[in-house]
Structures are given as C-alpha cells and as structure tokens.
C-alpha cells in the first residue's frame, strides 16, 4: 500500500508508524548524542541505537528518557547497553493534536526467571 510518509519522506530515525501497531522487544546497543535543529535552534538529544536488525535508532525526548531510566533501572545511560525494553505506539497530545508516538516500557522478565522463586523453608 502506498504511504506518503514512507514513500517520499523516509526517516533514518524510528517513528511510531515503523512499529506497525505492534509492541517490539528491543535490545539497546548504545546511546549517542546527536545535534538537531528545530526552528533555527540547535539542541543536543540522546539517540538510542538497538541491536535488533532493521530497527532504526530512537531520538529520545524527555518523556522517553524518563521511561528508559525506569525500564533500565538507572538514569545512567552508559549502563543501558544489553538491556531489553518494549517499544510501542501510543496516542499522545502534541500542540493541540493527537498523534501516534513511540513510547518505552520495561520488558517482561523471562518466564524462567518468573518461575524461579525460592520457596521459604
């Protein structure tokens, strides 16, 4: 199906449309700074790179930065490499419009860990 955004305005960064309405479990590779310009103002933002093949990097806004800190159990982004998170599309309000954005949450614990509870003696 033709898509005006994907066909004519591709992005090298992750967008909600790239998730195709589904949750994606992603493994963080690294976080690197990048400079962006918005309305003539240059700002530095963290860009989260993933180990998953074909998963674009995520430009991290303040909300996702806080969510990643929670999901990775630390605000120290240098420790996030190898951590798994879930990326999902979520409707948000932005400048008076409702849009679909990428959000982050903690990845569920592997089943083996969940079932490995010790029994008190």
Domain ranges in the chain are 4-114
44's CB contacts (< 8 A; 6+ apart) are 33, 34, 35, 36
Q: Which residue has the higher pLDDT, 115 or 94?
A: 94
Average pLDDT over residues 45-67: 96
CA atoms of 65 and 60, how far apart (whole Å): 6
Q: Domain 4-114's class? A: mainly beta
Examine the pLDDT at 116 and tell me if it is beyond 80: no
The answer to whether residue 70 scores a pLDDT higher than 80 is: yes
């Amino acid at each position: 199906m033709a898509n005006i955004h994907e066909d004519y305005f591709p992005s090298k960064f992750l967008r909600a449309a790239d998730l195709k309405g589904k949750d994606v479990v992603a493994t963080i590779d690294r976080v690197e700074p990048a400079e962006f310009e918005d309305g003539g103002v240059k700002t530095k933002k963290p860009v989260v790179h993933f180990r998953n093949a074909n998963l674009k990097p995520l430009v991290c806004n303040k909300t996702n930065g806080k969510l990643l800190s929670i999901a990775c159990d630390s605000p120290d982004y240098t420790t996030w490499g190898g951590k798994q998170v879930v990326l999902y599309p979520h409707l948000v309000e932005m400048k008076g419009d409702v849009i679909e954005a990428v959000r982050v949450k903690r990845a569920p614990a592997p089943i083996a860990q969940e079932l490995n509870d010790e029994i008190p003696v």
